[in-house]
Structure 1
Amino acid sequence: MRVPRIIAIALTGAAVLAPVAACSSSEPTAPGKIPQAAPATPAPTVEARPAHPFTGMPYSGEPGPVLTAKIENTAAGKPQMGLRSADIIYVTQVEGGLTRLMAVFSSKLPKKIGPVRSARISDLHIMAQYGKPAFSYSGVQTKMIPFVQQASLIDVSDSSAPGAYFREPGRYAPYNLFATPDKLLDNASKAAKAKDIGFVFGDAPEGGTPKKSFSVRYPAARFTFGWSEKQKRWLVWQDGKKDVAAEGGQQGAPTIVVQYATTTRSQFHDVNDSYTPLIQTVGKGRAVVLRDGKAYEARWSRKSEKSGTEFTSEAGEPMPFAPGQVWVVLAAPKPVQP
């Protein structure tokens, strides 16, 4: 049984002992009677706040509902909005050797997210471990519709919840479709709440290899993660350029997980007959965890669609992530050509 992580926050203040009665009372002490010290003021209680299962950060109240969203990740759709508020960001390969993102929100919601794009078959397999999250996307190819209808999710696409979407001025279609998270969740009252998905957070383990940067290549995209000692997080470059957020600042996270997963061709393809990759996220394999300026060799394991994904050290011990946003970069051991 996984033991939930608790972050304890001590309240300021200290217990104060009252002076002895002989010094604090104006009444004389009876002969032969030993003066008694006044009872000590009780020590202040310690407020224990649980850690959010997606980020390891303390939070108050109950975990919020889970919202997932498929986000454009090519130059035409940048800068993206809302990613800085995501708890987890998945990088997945799509047709043509390019990539798209799937952002997971629960602990906080941005005002708007986007550009929102169409879903892929691998998204459905990834999301199953979250229970039944709300899923924001902008359509799928006809052959995939039955798979979405049968998947464990609440559909809040632009066709199911049109009032939650809008066209962002200054951008052109299809890269101008954005959504309002609050409105998306208004249409998903039964969305699953955040729960344990296998992540463990804590201090950096021993070992690791010091790294200033680490790159992951896809057939038509390249990510480089550079450690910033000043910001205490890995900053993101894509295709040699800084990945800048629409809200300002460079995208990045305290923990980057490169999860090497077998990637094959699915039964789906685009209008150019370029096959949609199918990422096998159930099973086990190698991973590299980037945190605190080091790279740690790790292993990943996921027993079933509904199970979370656990990451362990080469010795089999849980691999702790640094508290904060987590990027999970799903990369094929050998890139699948489009």
Structure 2
Amino acid sequence: MRLRFRASRSAVVVLAAAAIGLAGCAGSEPEPLEPEVVTETPEQSVDKTHAPDPQIEEAWPLTGVAGEVAARDVMSVKVENSVAARPQTGLQSADIVWEEMIEGGETRLLAVYHSTVPETIGPIRSLRPMDIPLATPFGGQLIFSGAQRAFLDAAHASPLQILTNDAGAAGFYRSADRRAPHNVYGNTADFIAQGSGDEDVEAAFSYAPEPEFATAVAEGEPTGSLQLSFPNTSPSWTWATDADAWLRSEAGADAMTTDEGRVSAVNVLVLRVEVRTTSYTDPSGSPVPESVVTGSGEAIIATGGHTVSGTWSKDADDAHVQLRTEDGDEVLLAAGNTWVELLPVSGSSVSLN
């Protein structure tokens, strides 16, 4: 049997010294041993008295989604929502969508674009009086097709850049796939080219650092759907866990787009607003209503399959809407797109299931 031994480094040095000693006795001059020099790296000094500064990620101001923010203007676009206008194009790309009642009890949309800009948006329709105070806090461009003189004058008196089909602004065209007046569409590259691209865009809402910290999720009640009733239309939102979003329906049918599938939202806000009748009428003779969006009222905030009650307030035309809980705390939304339902306090309703 063969035994194996593993000598340590010190043992090797001892044996080497003994061998040299024996060689010396034999009359030969020993070669001097050079001592082994071991250099130890000292531990680096770490300042543990100050915690490192937190890394603050850049985020898109109208969604709270992390990303490098591009230097381009906000586009607030008036989008039709009648049966003849559906399915719309480019609607799902909007950061924020306001749904407002117009004449006849139907609704029309003001879609606000910044973080994601689709190639095409439409159908684009005419302006209503509440669109100006809704769009003003975002700055940038207000884009529409047609307006009564009083509304048009008010738009031009605002700080917004006004782009209209009637004035011949670049980017508008008529689609052969739809009948007038539901066939006006916009090429966003042309719209962007007419903007300054140097405006600072402020956050419209406050966003939680993680979805579970959103106010509705942290403090609200589980909710599977929101059923809304305007005088002449009934949109609804259903929570889809697999999509992690609220899915929209119109009168019981899926609300679709031509380019991005079904309409969905990370946050849905239901703001109860006063609606007053203006002295203006549409071509059919119906009075034009105006949603009063400065002031305050009740709110329902829906995020992450939960809802919580609160209040909304907007102090001036150039101020963003502020959301508070019933206890007066600031409401935090989840990062992502938001739909705002401007639901009249009378003649309309909302139910949660």
TM-score class, shorter-chain normalisation, is 0.7 to 0.9
**Paired residue for 1:238?**
250
234-243 vs 200-209, greater mean Cα deviation: 200-209
Higher helix share: 2
| Corresponding letter in the other structure for 1:105 | Y
Q: 1:145-184 maps to which residues of 2 (within 5 A)?
A: 145-184=152-191
**Paired residue for 2:3?**
none
Which whole-Å CA distance do the structure 2 matches of 1:160 and 1:242 have between them? Answer: 35
Match of 1:84 among 70, 89, 92: 92
**Paired residue for 2:65?**
57
| Corresponding letter in the other structure for 2:160 | L
**Paired residue for 1:255?**
267
CA contact (8 A) 1:64 1:194 kept: no
1:139 aligns with 2:146: yes
1:281 aligns with 2:293: yes
Which whole-Å CA distance do the structure 1 matches of 2:93 and 2:141 have between them? Answer: 16
Following superposition, the deviation at residue 62 of structure 1 comes to: 4.9
Which whole-Å CA distance do the structure 1 matches of 2:187 and 2:100 have between them? Answer: 23
Following superposition, the deviation at residue 260 of structure 1 comes to: 0.8
Larger radius of gyration: 2
Q: Percent identity?
A: 24
| Corresponding letter in the other structure for 2:239 | W
**Paired residue for 2:221?**
209
| Corresponding letter in the other structure for 1:175 | H
Which whole-Å CA distance do the structure 1 matches of 2:54 and 2:111 have between them? Answer: 34
CA contact (8 A) 1:164 1:180 kept: yes
Following superposition, the deviation at residue 81 of structure 1 comes to: 0.7
Match of 2:118 among 91, 107, 110: 110
CA contact (8 A) 1:80 1:114 kept: yes
**Paired residue for 1:225?**
237
Which whole-Å CA distance do the structure 1 matches of 2:313 and 2:135 have between them? Answer: 16
205-214 vs 291-300, greater mean Cα deviation: 205-214
Aligned pair count reads 305
Which whole-Å CA distance do the structure 2 matches of 1:232 and 1:331 have between them? Answer: 24
**Paired residue for 1:3?**
none
Following superposition, the deviation at residue 191 of structure 1 comes to: 7.3
Following superposition, the deviation at residue 278 of structure 1 comes to: 1.2
Distance 1:286 1:63, change over 3 A: farther
1:120 aligns with 2:128: yes
Which whole-Å CA distance do the structure 2 matches of 1:277 and 1:160 have between them? Answer: 25
Which whole-Å CA distance do the structure 1 matches of 2:150 and 2:71 have between them? Answer: 35
1:123-149 deviations in Å (ceiling 9; x for gaps):
01211222x321110011234332222
Following superposition, the deviation at residue 61 of structure 1 comes to: 4.2
| Corresponding letter in the other structure for 2:308 | Y
CA contact (8 A) 2:62 2:205 kept: no
**Paired residue for 2:343?**
331
CA contact (8 A) 2:60 2:68 kept: no
1:94-130 deviations in Å (ceiling 9; x for gaps):
0100000000011121000000000111101211222
1:270-303 deviations in Å (ceiling 9; x for gaps):
1222111111111111100111111110111111
Distance 1:237 1:151, change over 3 A: same
Distance 1:108 1:161, change over 3 A: farther
1:288-327 deviations in Å (ceiling 9; x for gaps):
0111111110111111111111101111111111111000
Structure-1-length-normalised TM-score: 0.84
Following superposition, the deviation at residue 40 of structure 1 comes to: 9.4
1:309 aligns with 2:315: no
CA contact (8 A) 2:71 2:198 kept: no
1:74 aligns with 2:85: no
**Paired residue for 2:196?**
189
159-168 vs 179-188, greater mean Cα deviation: 159-168
Uncovered stretches (5+) of structure 2, i.e. residues with no partner: 1-34, 47-51, 349-353
**Paired residue for 2:309?**
297
